[in-house]
Amino acid sequence: MDLDKVEAALSALNAPRYRLDQVRRAVFSEAAASYDDVAVLPRELRDGLKSQAPILSLKERRVEVSSDGRAHKALLELGDGKIVETVLLRPSPVRWTTCISCQVGCAVGCTFCATGLMGLQRNLSVEEVTDQVLFWRQYMKRESLEGRLDNVVYMGMGEPFAVYDTLAQSLRALMDQKQFGIGARHISVSTSGIAPQIERFGRDFPQVNLALSLHAADDALRTRLVPVNKAYPLAALAKAIKNYLCETPRKVFLEYVLLREENDRPEDAARLVAYAKGLGPRELIHVNLIIFNETDTPHRASSEENARSFQKVLLDAGVHATVRQNLGRDIQGACGQLVVLERTHGQ
Ligand code: SF4
């Protein structure tokens, strides 16, 4: 929902100003999916708003639910017919988190990422980004899913720092008490490593979490896996992280997808230890190890056992590290699996 559009529509319909608050409350607090559900509005006003300022800028194509019910993946159709994917996850019984996209496809082209295979199709608007959260709130109400959705991660399709202005505006909307009211500490932004934007982000949003998709602590290997490393190599990233930590004492999360016999060997773990320790105080650096979700790429997943051994090297060296839970594998909704391909989804 674009509140400016709603305001303009209300003005064109000669509605009094308090109607805006009624719409806002119904949409953001009560997850109204249709103006027809907003009984306080006169019928003519509802009809006018429906045509001039629709609640959602995207519509549901399909939702798939994992066998354990803890991961839901939606294919949402944008106004121009393009499709974007977003995921709703329940990592614990009381918490829901959504993983949202900021682009259709992605230009970064990480070699292990299904979205990277698509290339960039287009950027999303601010409304299309935040509407993914609104969609899930409506979905949870419709499906009577208990609990509250108040965690958002920008880890879906796209590189958030490639669309910084959209990212910034969408973050402000998510944190706005009169809109989504999500606490800054419940929002995380993940980047493949656009170094200058990391520092800017620390200044602009010191309370929002930052995750860096590292995946290798060796420049040659990282450039192969995450091509943006050529422009912003590990030394530039380290400098940006250090400056970031001067702006905010928030923990930085290093994401590390474990790829069998590529970046999951003991020497890779040792390099990661040295790199993580050089970034800042121990308590401010946390490594998330992710067992790769196999996609149509040549990469293969590390075993669970190998992931635990890798983690042990980090822990023994005093680096905080967890092996991340992977929800939604069976619906291709897990990390690195978001992609809209004709043959995958049959559109
Ligand atoms: S991992 Fe992220 S940055 Fe890399 S290609 Fe995929 S969506 Fe883009």
The pLDDT, as a whole number, for residue 295 is: 74
Mean pLDDT of 272-296: 93
Q: Buried b / exposed e across 6-35, counting CB within 10 Å, b at 16+?
A: bbebbeebebeeebbebbbebbbeebbbeb
**Ligand 1 atom nearest 226 alpha carbon:** 4
85 a catalytic residue: yes
Ligand 1 atom 5 nearest Cα: 116
Q: Which of 102, 106, 110, 335 is catalytic?
A: 335
pLDDT above 70 coverage of the chain, percent: 93
Which is the closest atom of ligand 1 to the Cα of 116? 5
Token pair recorded at residue 154:
């920008």
Q: What pLDDT score does 116 carry?
A: 85
Distance 164 CA to ligand 1 centre (A): 15
* Percent of the chain scoring above 90 in pLDDT: 84
Q: Which of 85, 159, 255, 262 is catalytic?
A: 85
pLDDT for the residue 241: 97
Q: Residues 278-283: what's their mean pLDDT?
A: 95
Q: What's the mean pLDDT in 211-233?
A: 97
In short, whether 116's Cβ falls inside 6 Å of ligand 1 is yes
> 329 falls in which pLDDT band (50, 70, 90)?
low
* Confidence (pLDDT) at 117: 85
Band the pLDDT of 342: cuts 50, 70, 90. Answer: very low
- What are the structure tokens assigned to 186, written together? 């419940």
Q: How far is the CA of 208 from the centre of ligand 1 (A)?
A: 20
* Selection from 115, 107, 45 nearest residue 85 by Cα: 115
- Sign of the Cα pseudo-torsion (6, 34, 1, 120, in order): negative
Which pLDDT does position 96 carry in this prediction? 94
Q: Is 255 in the pocket of ligand 1 (CB under 6 A)?
A: no
What is the distance between the alpha carbons of residues 321 and 138, in angstroms, rounded to a whole number? 35
pTM beyond 0.75: the answer is yes
Q: What is the mean pLDDT of the chain?
A: 92
DSSP labels for 279-346? Answer: TS-GGGEEEEEEE----SSS--BPPHHHHHHHHHHHHHTT-EEEEPP---GGGT-STT-----HHHHT
Give pLDDT tens digits for 1-36. Answer: 999 999 999 999 999 999 999 999 999 999 999 999
For the chain, how long is the longest CA-to-CA vector? 68
Distance CA 218, CA 27 (A): 47
Over residues 158-203, the pLDDT tens digits come to 999 999 999 999 999 999 999 999 999 999 999 999 999 999 999 9
Per-residue pLDDT tens over the stretch 50-90: 999 999 999 999 999 999 889 999 999 999 999 999 999 99
pLDDT at 345 over 70: no
Tell how far the Cα of 165 is from the centroid of ligand 1, in angstroms: 19
Closest by CA to 242, choosing from 185, 202, 187, is: 202
pLDDT at position 328 over 70: no
105: left (phi over 0), alpha (psi -120 to 50) or beta: left
Distance 3 CA to ligand 1 centre (A): 30
Mean pLDDT (whole number) for 234-263:
95
- Alpha-helical segments (H) within the chain: 3-12, 18-24, 43-52, 114-118, 126-142, 164-175, 195-204, 219-225, 234-247, 266-277, 304-316, 342-345
Domains and CATH numbers, the chain: 3-52 (no CATH), 59-345 (3.20.20.70)
Say what the pLDDT of residue 324 is.
82
What's at 292, amino acid-wise? F
Round to the nearest angstrom and report the end-to-end CA distance of the chain.
26
pLDDT of residue 59: 96
106 touches ligand 1 (CB under 6 Å): yes
3-class state of residue 217 by DSSP: coil
Residue 92: pLDDT band (50, 70, 90) is confident
Residues 102-147: pLDDT tens digits? 999 999 999 998 888 889 999 999 999 999 999 999 999 999 999 9
Q: Please determine, for residue 332, whether its predicted confidence score (pLDDT) is greater than 90.
A: no
108 lines ligand 1 (CB under 6 A): yes
Burial class (CB in 10 A: 0-12, 13-18, 19+), 284: middle
Q: How far is CA 152 from CA 22, 29, 39, 208, in A?
A: 25, 17, 30, 10
Residue 159 Cα to ligand 1 middle (Å): 6
C-beta 160 within 6 A of ligand 1:
no
